[in-house]
Each structure stands twice: as structure tokens, then as C-alpha cells.
Structure 1
């Protein structure tokens, strides 16, 4: 979102609109203390008045979309890229994942909490589908039915949160939607963010699969004006029916480019945006391009080690010793380009460092990198040090680490883990399956407390606390409860988080309001070129 369209975060807004229904009139709502978040994005934010009117923006894709329904299971990354300007969200997210309604689609919002949460949405009277038909409650009802398995043969690829909704109905008019949840739900916005699908296209498997672009299925600042199958091009232009701010760009183009040709295409000024990832080679190649800059921000995933609770690691004391022997500030970190921000060490099994309520649980529990204390824990657990190796009942302490051919990151992590655990007498061996330590990338939802990991319920003493976290409405109390739960999980050492993975995007220097966005959504009408 651009600076000219900044909105209040939902952490405050939801409580300004929240009504606690009792037998007496509800007291005037007050603003709760905000839950802090150390989040950032790198998008060259500029107000609309500083952008020139018009211009072309060019993206690469690997292939033309074959499925044009953004919620169909067959929709892939290319579909998501092309449809991003065509299917804007009805709620906006900031870099920390906090939510606010988009006034282009939602002009009024009420949240009531009695024994369950009921959300009432007032839809913008000007909002239209691409064939000028109004967006109404019937579209929301049809989307809920499809998302909740009520339509035979139809399954949404991303239906997160809809399983908690028990009813969607029309309110006082077709432009009002009433959404009822099965319980008190602090994460009520989750299923509503993307908005509805066109109701007429969700009622059967055949109508749910979209083999091509049809205007009537979308409501956005842009529309597809040309698809060139031979050249591998998709062209988007301004939608004359769009009721919001006029887009600054007049054309967006997606072009098929083979992966091995991306660097040359960007260097030759055939593309304006290239999601390089953290690859040092790609980042170096992007730097060669004239009039370009690398945008970087903390991403929406983290790197971690999953820890087994079998064998020697069934003892929590041994798992804690392993944790304290590891230097997570240095372990397995990818080489970053010069000038890139330092990776953030991740010390919380529930929240990324940039999310609201994050607490460094390593510091909170004292389970930090400390090889001396790690050695003492192993001594106390009966693992004696003999000739530099930990031994118990005649058996050495050997920890296996999962690797697979071609996984360079895991190979680096294996070496670092082996070196660091060797310092306390623990042997590390490579394994192709059923390992004690499994490296993985963990995608973290902008609603992380709505999707607690399995161990948050199964760990000793965690179940009751997890239930309170799931339904607590006060954001400050909920953050405190989540911190208690995260502290318990950190002490159990079921997962060893390492770092928050970075996001890198190479763009032309003059591009504004687009780049490395973390959780933040994009206001496509505000994307453009500086004057």
C-alpha cells in the first residue's frame, strides 16, 4: 500500500468496531494498547502525486496460466503472479500481517462477540464485477459453500479459516454480509481477506475450473486485454469499470521467460521485476543491470530444525543440551550480498521476529547458546565424556541429520551442526530418512495463532493454554498467553528455529510501491514510476 493510502491496523480498528453483547447496552469501545511488531518492507513508498501518469511494468512468468481461478487447486505460481493485479484482496495486510478493510470493497465493519463471533460487512455500493454486475452477499454465500465442502466436486486450494465459519447470509440488503463463526474467533478476518469468488462460477466443478480469462470473474483496477499464446504474453490495461483510484500504470505485461534466461532478460532491460531469492549468483547478476536496485525485507518463512523425541532425544534434558550447544546466530546461514540486512535469528516456535507479540524465548528461558551449560546438562543426564565423546551404558550419543542429494543448504547445515555438537562430545551422522534432526523451511501464516503447530497441543501442559490462545479476544492478553505457550514449547525443544528467511527482489530504480513486501499486500492502483 502506498503512503497516500495508509490505514489503521486491525489490532486497533477491530476493537474500535467490536461490540461485546450482553443484556445491557454495550459501553463505548476503547482503543486497547497496541501489540508491537518490528516489521518492515522495502518497496520505495511514494505518494500518488509523485508518480507519473501512465507507464508499462514488465514481469516474467515461466508459462502462461492454464487455470485462471485463483482458488483452484491447479492454480500455480504463474497463475498467482498474473492474477495478483486482477484479484485484489478485500482486506489489506501490512508488513507484520496486521489487517485492515479495503474501503474500495468494504465501507463498514462490525464485530460482535457473545458466545461466538459475528461479523457484518457493508459492501461498497460501487463495487462491481467485470461485467458491471454488483458484488453482493450472494457471492460471499457461494464462496463459503464452496470453501466448506458443500458443493460436490469443488475444493478451494486455500480455504484457511472457512472451517471455523458456520453461516454466511445476506443482511439488511444484498450489499450487506453477515458471517457467523462457531466460537469466539480473534482471527475472524482470515477467511475474508481474499474476498468472494463470483457466485455463478462456484456451483459446480465445471464452472469452478477456468481455462481462460473472462472479465465477469474479476473485480480490479486492471483487466486482461490480450493473451498471445505464440509469444507467451499476457497484457493487462486499466479497467474502465474500476470505481477506486485510477491506476498510475496504464499497462502491465507478463512474459514467459525460461529460468536460465532471466538474468539476461533483466540485464537487457526486458523486465522490470525479478524475484531473485537469496541466490548469491542471481543477486550478483541483477546488480550488473543498469538502473536497478535490490529490494530486501524479512520474509514470511523461517528456517528450522525439527527435533525427534525418540531414542536418546526422548529426554528433554538432552534436547535442551543440543539446543544450547548450537550457535543459531551462525548456523547454516546463506551467504548474503554486500549491503543486505543481517538475517534475524528466530527464537520463537509460534511467531516470526517481525510479527506482533514476538518474544525472544531463548532469552526469556535462558536456553541460549552456552556450550558449557550444554555439557553440564549432558553430564547430569548420564552422558559421560570419554575420549571426547558422550557415552551412556557403553553407547555413544549419535544424532542423525537428514540430508538429500542436491540440497546444498542442508549440507551446509549438517557441517555446522556437526562441528558445533562435536564441541560438547556429540557425534552427528548424515541420514536419508528417519533422522533425529530434520532441516525444513516453515511458512508462517499472517494468522499464526489460528494455526498452532501440533506440538502446541501435544506437549506436556500445552493443551489448555493453546485453547485459551485460540479464543482470547483481547490482543494484549492473547499475546501474553501466546508467549507463555511459546516459552513452554521452547523448553520442550521440539523445534529449533534458526532464522527468518529474507525476501529479495530486483527492480528498476524508478519503480515505486512495489518490491520486497513481507506480509504486506499491494495496492496495484498505486504502483507506478517516479516522475
Structure 2
């Protein structure tokens, strides 16, 4: 029998977690500050469990079978992590904006104190067990912290970020209480705790940390590995008979190796149920051509940006600001993702994506938005004189370089759009394959973006005091305001030119519920299923 999740008694705590709670205990609802707003959405066909049929198969493609079954080993690639995701649920769940709340299957209570330094006390669910029925306890958390901070020779887990800010982890009043102590006051204390621990025995040595094969005892999840068929290139997951939470709606999840060039055909021939298409126009069109399918899309966790070299001509901040105003970033996004029914969200902050709490459009706030007339005036004021082909100053032509690696069609398209926009104000742009004044990049943005500020933002003149405040302010409203002030300084300095928030595209079979394009949100694998 599945156990009802105790969500109701976590309501007040959830609100505190969303913003970083204060005090030694969860605050009463009358004094808990409201979460900072976030314009985040996900496209997963959310459905209550009672509307889903019991049973069913879900099929994913893989490029290759996993060779490393530890999700935090450096050798675990994207395919391995895809297989391991239903085997390693997060202990603090994230919503589409990246805000954390406790997953009651693993953590039933959280208390936080910020007196001098942050101390977090987790109460673990005593029903949680590893795949061999051994209890999940504070010992596992202590061992994971030790391994994540270099205290175990030869063991260096990949992620989560934030363990370097933790100075101690120990058992509390019982084996089901974990006390985590941070070096200072830490508003992003949830960051290292989100995925939960690895089993203590698996991080005791380098040999134990490398999982060449799967073992039930390594996982605590709604699903376990039932079979790996090396010859057929298949991994099959089935319900975990020891799972203590809601009974999974699916009874089987299958991962099948498919060559990259054959995935579209396999999806169209109904051999797969889920296909992460990316932003390729060809793949998007192929997914839409498949019968009985839906293309789910939501703002993603990456942003497209131009890295600005603050050397050479662009060492002059006035010139950087003129270039920024000359660029129509919405046009760049529309050109990059021309197959979208709606253009992507223009991105105007060096710290937060548009869907994250506290985001402010800094182009609007500073007035440094697309304005070719003002860009030309700024160039005039800086002494760049109009001439045939480009402006010049003291005999030097205003020529900037743009990096377009060989075979990078996206960068080539961006170059063509930007070259025209900059030429309109007298700036010539030349494509190069090596180092350049402007370099297009895809920037991953963490669910806790203020926990580790970008180096170019932290080094902005006059930013030091704001950087220190953002690092330790636990009041969410004050912190959002401080972060906005810092982002405004970075925007005025033009340390980077954000373009747009990259969307997620996932093609799925009609009737699939609670899975698709989630933003930052955690997948509740026990709630994934079919409506018909």
C-alpha cells in the first residue's frame, strides 16, 4: 500500500524554503515572508495521480549504454544520468523556477538557524531505505560531505555545488537527524542538499566510488534496474518493491540505444515515447510530423549570450555600451529560433534568467536597450568619426571580430544578423574562428544563481560591497534588491551581452502526463504515467 505524502504539514516550511528561512525553527504563516515572484512555467501535462492509468511502458533513446552507474562520478555522461534519474530522486524538490522544498519521501522536516553562521537540521524519513532494505541515515550524509570536500583520497564527486561552504555534517539526536553547519550565514544553504546523499559505503574509497555495474543497494528510488541487455542495447527499469512512497504509475521504463541519425525515424515509427529535440529546426519539424505526438516547450536553464572581450578596442566601456545599444537582441533570438511559434524571451540580466525569482530587466532599468540612434550618438561622443565602410578614430578603423567556429551554423547565422545591425551605426564586424572581441556562448545558469557569482560580475568596479551583501543576506526581498543593483552595475559595464533564454523542446506521445519540458523542476517519477 502506498503511503500518503505528508505535504499539508510542510506548507509553512515550504514557503520558508522557497525564500531561505530565518530563525531557528520554521516561521509561523503570519510572519513567513512571501516568496520572491518568478515568471516560470513548465510544460509537462500536469495531471493528478487518480487520472492516470495503472501500468504502462515509457521508452527513451540513448546514444550508448552506461559504463558508469554512479550519478556523481566524473565518468557518468549525459546518457548515464538520463538512465539514473529515476533511480536517484532529489531529496529537496525544485519547482520550475529552481526554488527548493523538501521531498517528504526523504526529508520530513527542516529547521534553519542563521545565528552567526547557518545551521540546517534535517529530519529524515525513517521509512526511506536503500535497495537492499538498509535504512538511509545521517551516516550517509556525513560520508557524502567528507567525499565531496576532499576528505576521502581518490574520491571527487561531481556536484552538487555548495559543499565547499559546509564545515561540518553530523548526526543529531538520532540516526535520522542530520545537522549541517556552514562557514558563514548562507542564504543558499539548500544548494548542496538538493540531491541527497550517496550511500556511505560507496564513497569510502576510490574503488567503491566507481560503479562499473548497477547494484540495487546503491539506489533508493521508485524504480530499480531490472535488466541490462548489452547485445540489444537496452536498459529496463521496473518498480522498486521496497519503495515506501506512492506506487509508481508506470511499471516499466525502457532505454534503448539508437544512433543519433536514426532517432527521428524511431520516434516517427512509434518506437520511442520521448525525444529531447533541442532547438534544431530539422528535428523540430520531424517531431511535429510524427503522429500522436505533442511538442512540449518551456523556458530552459541556459541562456544564449555574447562574451565580451574587455581588451583592445572594447577596453573602452563607452564603446561597449554603444555596441550593446546597436544590437537588437530580440531579432537575434528570432533568427536563431525561427521555427518557434513565439520568439524566445530576451534576456536582460547578468545574474538571473527571466524565469528566476527576483529577475529585473536591466536593459529597461538602465536605459541601455536597443537604440541605434543613441548608439550612433555615443560613438560620435567617443570620437569615432563616420567614414566609408566603418567609423575610424585617430587613423584606426572601428573593426570588431566575432567568433564563428567551423561548422557552427548557429554562430554563423548570429554573425550575419549582428554584422548588419552594427554596420547600421558604422561598426564593422569580421568573422574569425579563434579568439574574438565577441564570442557567442550557451551559458548554464544554476538553480541557485546567486550562490556563486560570475567572476566578471563580481569584479565590476564598485561592486564589492554588494557582492558581500548578496552572499550573506537571508531576507529574500532585500537580497533580490541587492542582486538587482549588482546586475545593474554589470549591465552598465557591459561585461557580457545576454541575448535570450534558451527554450527546452521535448517531443512526447499524446497522453503522457507529468513529463516534458520542466524548466528547473524535479520529476516525480512515481507520478509519471499515461492518461489513456
TM-score, structure 1 normalization: 0.96
> What are the within-5 Å matches in structure 2 for residues 353-368 of structure 1?
353-368=354-369
Q: Equivalent residue for 1:217?
A: 218
Give how far 1:103 is off: 0.2
Specify the SS of the correspondent of 1:301.
Answer: strand
Give how far 1:19 is off: 4.8
Q: Equivalent residue for 2:435?
A: 434
Q: Equivalent residue for 2:371?
A: 370
Q: Equivalent residue for 2:390?
A: 389
After superposition, what is the alpha-carbon deviation per residue over 1:99-146, rounded to whole angstroms, capped at 9, x for unaligned?
100000001110011110000000001000000000000000000000
Give how far 1:290 is off: 1.4
Q: Equivalent residue for 2:16?
A: 13
Give how far 1:312 is off: 1.7
Q: Are 1:302 and 2:313 matched, yes or no?
A: no
Distance 1:197 1:59 in 2: 25
Distance 2:48 2:396 in 1: 66
Give how far 1:288 is off: 2.1
Contact 2:20 2:187 in 1 (8 A): no
Going from structure 1 to structure 2, the CA distance change for 1:239 and 1:164 (only over 3 Å counts) comes to same
Going from structure 1 to structure 2, the CA distance change for 1:226 and 1:481 (only over 3 Å counts) comes to same
Distance 1:48 1:222 in 2: 17
Going from structure 1 to structure 2, the CA distance change for 1:29 and 1:178 (only over 3 Å counts) comes to farther
Q: Are 1:84 and 2:85 matched, yes or no?
A: yes
Q: Equivalent residue for 2:106?
A: 105
After superposition, what is the alpha-carbon deviation per residue over 1:479-505, rounded to whole angstroms, capped at 9, x for unaligned?
000000000000000100000001000
Contact 1:14 1:111 in 2 (8 A): no
* Equivalent residue pairs, number: 526
After superposition, what is the alpha-carbon deviation per residue over 1:353-405, rounded to whole angstroms, capped at 9, x for unaligned?
00000000000000011111111111111111123521110111111111110
Q: Equivalent residue for 2:32?
A: 31
Give how far 1:337 is off: 6.9
After superposition, what is the alpha-carbon deviation per residue over 1:249-277, rounded to whole angstroms, capped at 9, x for unaligned?
01111111111110111111110000011
Q: Equivalent residue for 2:123?
A: 122
Cα RMSD over matched residues? Answer: 2.0
Contact 1:19 1:29 in 2 (8 A): no
Unaligned runs of 5+ in 2: none
Specify the SS of the correspondent of 1:185.
Answer: coil
Give how far 1:82 is off: 0.4
Going from structure 1 to structure 2, the CA distance change for 1:9 and 1:513 (only over 3 Å counts) comes to farther
Q: Equivalent residue for 1:517?
A: 518
Q: Are 1:350 and 2:389 matched, yes or no?
A: no
Give how far 1:341 is off: 3.4
Specify the SS of the correspondent of 1:42.
Answer: coil
Contact 2:87 2:221 in 1 (8 A): yes
Contact 1:39 1:95 in 2 (8 A): yes
- Range moving further from structure 2, 314-323 or 279-288: 279-288
TM-score, structure 2 normalization: 0.96
Contact 1:11 1:35 in 2 (8 A): no
Distance 1:468 1:45 in 2: 38
Going from structure 1 to structure 2, the CA distance change for 1:166 and 1:293 (only over 3 Å counts) comes to same
> What are the within-5 Å matches in structure 2 for residues 178-217 of structure 1?
178-217=179-218
Give how far 1:310 is off: 1.2
> What are the within-5 Å matches in structure 2 for residues 328-339 of structure 1?
328-331=329-332, 333-334=334-335, 336=337
Unaligned runs of 5+ in 1: none
Q: Equivalent residue for 2:490?
A: 489
Going from structure 1 to structure 2, the CA distance change for 1:29 and 1:450 (only over 3 Å counts) comes to farther
Going from structure 1 to structure 2, the CA distance change for 1:228 and 1:27 (only over 3 Å counts) comes to closer
Contact 2:7 2:104 in 1 (8 A): no
